[in-house]
Amino acid sequence: VLIALAAGWFLTLGMRFVVPAILPQIKASFQIDNTTAGLAVTVIWAGYALTQFPAGVLVDRVGERALLTTSLTIAGGSVVGLGLARSVPLFLLACGLFGFGTGLYGPPRGTSLSRIFHDRQGFAFGVTLAAGSVGSALLPVVVTSLSNTIGWREAIGLVAPAFLMVSGVTWSIVPMRGLD
């Protein structure tokens, strides 16, 4: 369970830093200025921020497992949307969806860790937060390197299967609670 939750946080946190890392390629692809490029990053972070409170409410209503897997599935789908978007409005929509999807992850991650690892919460949170930090450092480097070889759309799209795989694992191993 800890590995699944940490892997989800690795992807969630790491991919939020990928779009800023590949902004030069995105700007060239869409022929946009710095203002519009900055808007894309803002849309991701605003979507993430605005989802925090509703995610806490949803944990109480639908349970952790359902919300964690929903978050990872939306994030994976939105990553596909980022790569497939052929216009700036569609790209911004995918950015918003990515922010929304990843914003759903944090609250149920925290309540799951506290509930499941109540005797070792510090260890569980430490492992999970460290995984997110590694994702933040590693995924932008990997995706940027790949984007220089295969293109930014393809490079970013390669992460989608990881989101979906971790979503499936999370659904199958995170214990049910409440209305799950």
In the numeric block, which tokens belong to residue 73? Answer: 């599935």
The model's confidence at residue 180, banded by pLDDT at 50, 70 and 90, is very low
* 73 pLDDT more than 60: yes
Averaged pLDDT for residues 153-180: 89
| The total number of residues written for the chain in this structure | 180
pLDDT at 122: 95
- Residue 168 corresponds to which tokens in the numbers above? 């499936």
| Nearest CA-CA partner of 72 in 51, 98, 46, 52 | 98
22-65 confidence digits (pLDDT tens)? 999 999 999 999 999 999 999 999 999 999 889 989 998 999 99
Report in angstroms the alpha-carbon separations of 45 from 90, 124, 127: 17, 25, 24
Q: Does the pTM of the predicted model rise above 0.75?
A: yes
